[in-house]
Structure 1
Amino acid sequence: MTTAPRFLRSLPVAYRDRLMELAEEVSFPQDARIFEEGGKAAGFWVIRSGAVTLDLSLSSRRRATVATLGPGDLLGWSWLFPPYEWDFGAEALSPVRAYVFDGDDVRDLCDEDPALGVVLMRTFAEILAHRLQTARTRLLELSPYSAT
């Protein structure tokens, strides 16, 4: 890996190297559903190329895009917290290449090295807080009650 994606660059080199030992490369074609809201959350991805939309079901037939993620972005946090179910859905907006990480393996790694766990969880928490604020703003824009 010549240049690490943004999420991975935020980690100290030793922790990044340990985490990357768990990574597998995957790809998704354009329009592929990566995961569904309410489905089992088993891990996360770091996007290497392409774009992914995060969406929320508004009805059985309608989804609202709440964020678009690109290279270097982290996709998925629901593997961190029981009941390990996705809060959003995700779809490849374009062909996507990513690293995938198994949630059980990462949680085990954090248990083995609590200092790594603290750094990783702090990094995830910062991303989560920003992502939730972005989703909230987007949903307010979509609300029929918002001022236009």
Structure 2
Amino acid sequence: MPKKLNIHCLQHVSFEGLGCIENWILDNGHSLTYTKLYDNPTFPDLDSIDALIIMGGPMSIHDEAEFSWLKTEKEFIKSAIEQHKKAIGICLGSQLISSVLGGSVYPNNQKEIGWFPVAVLDTNTEILKDFPKSFPVFHWHGETFTIPENAIQLM
């Protein structure tokens, strides 16, 4: 029987939640906790979590002057990765992972706004095994990023 995971979610805005990912977590008996960065954030002890999901948001990773918690969040993400916690970034979350691992985050040539397909690149990853090979997702991106060394691009 697979190990049950303690999964922690970093949520940047109240209107961007985990959606069907939360259903998968709970349906598979894993535990789920949150740091709601928009609401007096506190970060858990890293020993209490196995995996980290870092959600999206309308801010940039460069907006530390406006969002004071970004600096602490980056330190938390970097520490989690250094302690070999699984980390999945979605949108802004991917940019944060790239940044803390030495990648670059920079403006897209044009904004991606609307419904566009994404393709699953790693069907051997357990969490993606039942996903379709490609499916439409709503995008709202002004920035993009490089994939850091030793990171795995899932989609």
Same fold (TM over 0.5): no
- TM class, shorter-chain normalised? under 0.3
What TM-score do you get using the length of structure 2 for normalisation?
Answer: 0.25
What TM-score do you get using the length of structure 1 for normalisation?
Answer: 0.26
Tell me: higher relative CO, structure 1 or 2? Use CA pairs within 8 A at least 6 residues apart: 1
